[in-house]
Structure formats: C-alpha cells, structure tokens
Structure 1
Amino acid sequence: MNRFEVKHVPEDFLVRECVAVRLVQQEVATHQFWLLRKCGYTTMEAVRGIADELGVPEGSVGYCGLKDEDGVTEQLISIPITIPVDAVKRLEVREGSRWYYVQPYGFGDAALRVGQMEGNSFKIILRNLEGRHLDGFFARKKINFMFLNYFDTQRFGVPGGPHHSHLVGAAMTNGDWDDARQKLIELNSPESRLAANWSGASRDFFFQLDGRVRSFFPAAYASFMWNNELAGLVDATAMEGIHRMTVDGIDFTYLDDTSATAGVLSARYELPIKRYSFEDHAVARSASVRATVAQTVIEVAGRADDEYFQGRKRVELSFFLPSGSYATAAVRQLALQIA
C-alpha cells in the first residue's frame, strides 16, 4: 500500500457536520445553537468543558455526533436559552495545539440529539505522493468511489492509547463493572482520568456519567462485532484482491478494486447490528442494520508540490459521507487502489 501521509498537520483533515435544523426567533426559542470549532479535543471532552464553564449539567449541552480530536472539526451544539448569550460567546480554550471555541448559529425550539445529523463533509490533504499519482489516479476531477463501510479505529480508542473501547463495552454488557472500569483507565482517554480518580463502586461510576458517554462503550463493542461480520462477508464473497491489515490493534479485511467492493454490496447490502443501552441500570438490547458498503464522489483539487516532503506532491480531496461512515476508512481503501 502506498505510504502517503494523512493528518500530517491537523489542518490537513477538515470535517464539518451536516445537519438541517429549523431556526426560530429568539423570543420563542427553547435553545440556542452554536458552531463548535475544535482541534485536539474529543466532542465529549469539549462538551464536558463547556458545561462546566457554564455551570450546567453535561447532558444539557446537545450535539448530534462525535468528531475526532485528530483534525479540525466543526459541529453544532445546543445550549438552553436560559444561559446568557454573552456567557456562551466567551467560551474559548487554548492549550498549546489544542483548542476550541464557539460561534453563534441561531435559535431553535428543541435540543440537538445524537443521531440527528445527515452526515459529514470532508476536505482532506494527502501528502507525500509521487508525481505519477497526480498524472494517474488523481488526474481526474471527480472519482466515483465505493468502500467497505467499516467502523474505523477512532471508534475504539484515542491516539496514543490502546484501542480497547470495545472491551470496556463488552465488560459493561456482561455486568463486570470492575473490569470495565479498569479497562477504561487503561485507554488513556479523557474519561480514563475520571475513572482512575473515582473512589466508589465501579458500577456507580458508569451510571453517574452522561448517558451519551456511557452508551459509547457498548456501542463500540457492537461496532467491533459488526466489523467482524463484514470481514467474514468479504472473505465469503471476494475471490481475489483481498488485503488484511491491523491498524492500532484492530483487524481489517479490505479489497483493492471497486468492482469487487460492488460485489460485496450485491451479496449483502446491509448487515444486522446490535444496539445496547442501559435502562433502569440494566442493559437493554435492540436490533438495527448498517450498510456494508458506502459510496461517494470524491472531488480532486489542490494538486501541488508538497511543502512538507521535498520532491513529493500533495492533493486535496473533498467529499461527503452519510452519518456513521468514516473518511479514514475510505482513504485507507483508496490507498490500495492507487497503482
């Protein structure tokens, strides 16, 4: 696989959440909407900081989806209308290369909720390319692209830590709360510090967390199991062009040809996925489905000499993905197709 660079600097990976919200006049609004721009913070970490600064419960700051800390991301958040606008305007944190701040967006009559968004727009710079790539694969202005719709490694951990969020979730669903808290401590995530400092029962630690944070870990477990199902489908469907790789401790089975990926789509366009939630302090299970293959149109621009890698090239890719699909998973499969 070609060793081009992704996320060489945070500004190389721009993400903007896409969600359609109805705006109302401030006089009849129940919530105010703000655009949260951040770098180096997870969504949950930034929301926790915003809630602390405003003196409101974490759950009262609404959001639609989780955005990586490893890049520059933009997403809407909702805050109760009872919080003075001037207090929100002052929200800005800068800690070295890590930062976040908010910009006014409008007013609404409902809080934002997880899963409400339509998808995400991406603008990504690939670096350290050979000149032949700009004359070959990236010579086209638009690329029709299909890729296996894996949950990517961000689902299972943060940079610099073991990617074991699914193990936390597995322990939670099995009711092994001490093991779940210990595995969370080992993740090196913002929540790890909270778990390490907790002095009470492990079960109580998880149930005092914001419900959206608590649900993330069993969701990661469900995602891990679904990835295994998709890998098995690829093995059963494809005859050639199969590539196996391990990224941050997570195994993937990829294909190096779009037509082969289309074959997976033809065989099974979706696979079932389990959903876990905790109601009345007990685990509840439900069923859903997820598309096996995602499709997008990649717009190619910004072809130039790479200012970071002497003698190499860079290119900028812009595309939209539906909610739940990962740009890094798309780029990883794209790398297999660049001859």
Structure 2
Amino acid sequence: MSEPYRPDGWPLASVPEFGPPRAGEFRATPEDFVVEEILGFAPEGHGEHLWLWIEKRGLTTLEVVRHLARACGVPARAVGYSGMKDRIAVTRQWLSVHLPGQQAPDDLVEQLAGCGVRVHQQVRHPRKLKRGVHRANRFSLRISGEVISDALEARWAWLCRHGVPNLFGPQRFGPGGRNLARARAVLARGWRKRDDREGMLLSTARSYLFNELAAMRLAEGNWSRLVPGDVAMLDGTASQFAVEVVDAELSERADRLDLHPSGVLWGVGDSLAAGQAEGYERAVAERHEALCHGLEQAGVKMARRALRLRLDQPRLEIEKSVARLDFHLPRGSFATAVLRELIEHPTLTLPAEG
C-alpha cells in the first residue's frame, strides 16, 4: 500500500488528467462566495420556536447566534441552527429561537440589521432547529486570475463527470491547522466537554483521519470506484450497504455517480468495511493510534461519509476574466474541496500536520 500523503500534500483527483491547476483568486469580496441553505422542508407556521430566514455578511454563524440571543434576551442555547456557514461570504440560512408564549422584540429586525444580519422571513415552528437537518447548500462562486481558460472548462467538465473527492476543507482545521494541534492535545489528556463545548475538536480529529483515508485512496486511484469490502453509499442519502464482490452492475452504478465508496468517521463501533477497504482503515488507525484511541475514549460513535461527492445542478459561465460557478452540494460537504481541484490558492492548502 502506498504511503499516505501528508495533509499539506493531500492529492488532487484531477491532476493525473490535467496536471496542477493554475493560480486563481476567489472570495475577494463576500459577494464572490454566496451560500444558500436548502432546508428540504417548510416551518409549520405555529409553535414555541420562532424561525428566521437570515442573510449575513462578514459574520460566523455562531456570532449571529449570539446576536440573536442577546436581542431576544435568551441564552445562546435557546437558539438553533442547522449548518455553520462561512464568514467571508454572503450566506443565507435558517435560525430558530425559543420564545414560548411571547413575541419577538418589536425592533428585532432593526437590532440584527445593526449587526450586519438581514432578516428575510419570520415564521413559527413547534421544534428547535437542530444541527445537520438541512438537505443541501446552493453555492454561487466567482473566480478570476490566470486560471480562466479553456483548461478550466475542461477540468470543470471532468469533475462534473467523475465527481469530487469529499475532503473536509481547510476551514475545518482552523488557521494554520491550529484546531488539529488543539485536538491532539485535548485527546491526549482525555477529552472533556468543558474543553470543547461544541465538539469542534472531536470533529477536527475525525475530519483529519477521514482525509488521510481519502488520500490513500486518491494515491492508488480508487477513490471513485468500489473495491472489495467497501461500504457503498447511495448518492445524496445516508443509505449504505456492504460490498463483498464488485460486479459489473455495481461498477456501472458507481461510474454514473449513483453510489460512492465511503470512508470511516472514527469512533466507537463497527465500521462494516472488510477486505481491501478495511485494510485502508486499519492503516490509518495504525498510523494515528493516539487520535483514534482518544476519539474512542471520548465515546464518539463511528459513522461513515462518502469518499466522493457529485456536483448537483452544475453550471460554469466565463465572461472575460471572471468565471462563475453554480452548484449544489449535500450538507457537510465543502465548496473549498471543489475549488482546490480547480485553482491554486494559498488558502486552499490543507494544513501541515500538527
């Protein structure tokens, strides 16, 4: 088995076909990176929780949570959200606030506007908005620089046809990879909730291990196809099944992006992988024994994640020196994983090992 790539050199799927991408710029302004949450269901119009469809610029989701809680006079835990959205971007998403038997402040919209948050809609719902319940995110991105060429169009078409490695993006690891270093330290001494209230460091460690596994598969050229013992995931769902023999039908379904090989998100439990696929997971566990042990001791439940993502409703438009990319991704997937296949940019470099 090939040596796994270090995280400052996790490979690109498109390099064997096209070589390294050219330099490009993105997110010069928040308007260059637009994200819209696709919930997949509608609030019911009644209940103890006020749901707000908001648009933000230059703020993290957690900063908006604090602003909303302060404006409504409730603790931050009374505010719910489904996904964490980028700070340097224009992002639209739902938030909820628990207001049983009471109305929102008359000046709530004005208060939030003063913080850089625009409220587009308010509606009631019986339940709090919980993490990870939205279906997908819609992205509209602008890129520029020497990358704008026919080669960009060819690379984009290839990604639309073959899919994109479902790597966790550099933002998961923090500036300079500091979150990964913190995760190592916390897990080495024994994880405690008071040290990691939101579970961010646990998520960072699992993301790193997943990317290491994906790097092995990328290095050996089987990141997008099934190998014996794989656990296949149906596109756009959490449905999964073990693959004992990779027959022609399964290969054809993987080729048309109907299903994908998956990798383990480390924790307590059975990964379901066997054979060659289990060998990759075992190699990661052996190389990163301390991280895996720390996650198990923290009681994190083992889960799985598709190794590949399909670009849904993709569109590329090039006008002079600017390209606009539009696409949908399932929740939990990163637009930066798509961008790093298309352009070379220092902020898309994944962090050195901490």
How high is the TM-score relative to the length of structure 1?
0.68
RMSD across aligned positions (CA):
3.3
Aligned partner of residue 66 in structure 1, secondary structure: coil
Could you give the per-residue CA deviations for residues 187-225 of structure 1, whole angstroms, max 9, x where no partner exists?
xxxxxxxxxxxxxxxx68537xxx4xx212211111011
Could you give the per-residue CA deviations for residues 35-93 of structure 1, whole angstroms, max 9, x where no partner exists?
12112211112212221232211111000011111211111001123352324323325
CA contact (8 A) 2:33 2:140 kept: yes
- Aligned-partner Cα distance in 2 for 1:300–1:69: 24
Inter-CA distance 21–275: structure 2 relative to 1 (3 Å threshold):
farther
Matches within 5 A, 1:112-131: 112-129=129-146
Alignment-mate amino acid for residue 231 of structure 1: A
Alignment-mate amino acid for residue 271 of structure 1: G
- Structure with the higher strand share, 1 or 2: 1
Does 2:147 align with 1:163? Answer: no
Equivalent residue number for residue 291 of structure 1: 306
- Aligned-partner Cα distance in 1 for 2:267–2:84: 17
Does 2:36 align with 1:44? Answer: no
Equivalent residue number for residue 71 of structure 1: 89
Aligned partner of residue 103 in structure 1, secondary structure: strand
Alignment-mate amino acid for residue 304 of structure 2: V
Matches within 5 A, 1:170-249: 170-175=184-189, 206=195, 211=197, 214-237=198-221
- Aligned-partner Cα distance in 1 for 2:79–2:128: 8
How high is the TM-score relative to the length of structure 2?
0.65
Alignment gaps of 5+ in structure 1: 178-202, 240-261, 277-281, 306-312
Task: Give the counterpart of 1:8 among 25, 28, 31.
Answer: 28
Task: Give the counterpart of 1:91 among 111, 122, 135.
Answer: 111
Alignment-mate amino acid for residue 295 of structure 1: R
Does 2:329 align with 1:321? Answer: yes
Equivalent residue number for residue 319 of structure 2: 304
Equivalent residue number for residue 333 of structure 1: 341
Aligned partner of residue 140 in structure 2, secondary structure: strand
- Aligned-partner Cα distance in 2 for 1:131–1:220: 33
Which one scores higher on RCO, CA 8 angstroms, separation ≥ 6? 2
Inter-CA distance 42–220: structure 2 relative to 1 (3 Å threshold):
same
Could you give the per-residue CA deviations for residues 258-283 of structure 1, whole angstroms, max 9, x where no partner exists?
xxxx78x999700111259xxxxx83
Sequence identity percentage: 24
- Aligned-partner Cα distance in 1 for 2:187–2:152: 51
Task: Give the counterpart of 2:261 among 260, 269, 272.
Answer: 269
Could you give the per-residue CA deviations for residues 133-152 of structure 1, whole angstroms, max 9, x where no partner exists?
39953998x95451101000
Alignment-mate amino acid for residue 296 of structure 1: L
Aligned partner of residue 264 in structure 2, secondary structure: strand
- Aligned-partner Cα distance in 1 for 2:38–2:311: 15
Aligned partner of residue 338 in structure 2, secondary structure: helix
- Aligned-partner Cα distance in 2 for 1:223–1:87: 41
Could you give the per-residue CA deviations for residues 109-130 of structure 1, whole angstroms, max 9, x where no partner exists?
1111001111100011111256
Aligned partner of residue 331 in structure 1, secondary structure: helix
Inter-CA distance 114–56: structure 2 relative to 1 (3 Å threshold):
same
- Aligned-partner Cα distance in 2 for 1:156–1:217: 9
Inter-CA distance 149–135: structure 2 relative to 1 (3 Å threshold):
closer
Give the count of matched residue pairs.
263
Could you give the per-residue CA deviations for residues 157-203 of structure 1, whole angstroms, max 9, x where no partner exists?
1xxx43221232333333357xxxxxxxxxxxxxxxxxxxxxxxxx6
Alignment-mate amino acid for residue 326 of structure 1: F
Inter-CA distance 204–136: structure 2 relative to 1 (3 Å threshold):
closer
Inter-CA distance 149–92: structure 2 relative to 1 (3 Å threshold):
same
Equivalent residue number for residue 194 of structure 1: none
Equivalent residue number for residue 245 of structure 1: none
